[in-house]
Amino acid sequence: MANSHFKGPLSVGSGQVESLITTKTLDKEDNGKTFFLNLAGGFTVTLPALATVDAGWKVKIIVGITPTTAYIVTELVGTDTNKLVGNVNTSTATTSASKFNATGFTLVTFVVASGAVKGDYIEIVSDGSFYYVSGNTTVPAAITFT
């Protein structure tokens, strides 16, 4: 009897986890990966040019170590301009969820001074024309868009 739950082969990188401790430029093959930011000193993660990824390309980026210097996620400047749009939820024990929206930005920053901590995360999905950023942080303004 055929397995009706079979969904076919996984996309490249799907289900893989990678610990980052230095600057990284992502590529098409990183589709489906989860990245943990694991150097307190902070660094930059660069997304691939939109023209090189298919609609549905996605990654998740999680703060694995509370940073002492900002973690920055950026589009490939010079190829893409203001192609990030986003919505990050904030939830704490003392306040209800709130949202920080932005459109047409270049950088997502896990901000040290504003309280980025282990467990804060963003997910990024492409529709082929834009990168859509969503995520969660426990402290308002710990993740910013510029």
Query: 3-state class of 30 per DSSP?
Result: helix
Distance of CA 38 to the CA centre of its chain: 14
Predicted confidence (pLDDT) per residue in 79-122, tens digit: 999 999 988 887 665 554 455 666 789 999 998 866 889 999 99
**pTM of this prediction?**
0.85
Angle formed at CA 28 by CA 25 and CA 34, multiple of 5 degrees: 70
Name the residue ranges covered by the structural domains of the chain: 17-77+99-145
Q: What is the mean pLDDT of residues 19-43?
A: 95
CATH number for the domain whose boundaries are 17-77+99-145:
2.60.120.640
Q: HEC states along 4-42?
A: CCCCCCCCCCCCCEEEECCCEECCHHHCCCEEEECCCCC
Comparing 3-7, 12-16, 25-29, 57-61, which segment has the lowest mean pLDDT?
3-7
So what's the pLDDT on residue 13?
58
Give which of 19, 14, 17 is closest to 29, Cα–Cα. 14
58-87 mean pLDDT: 93
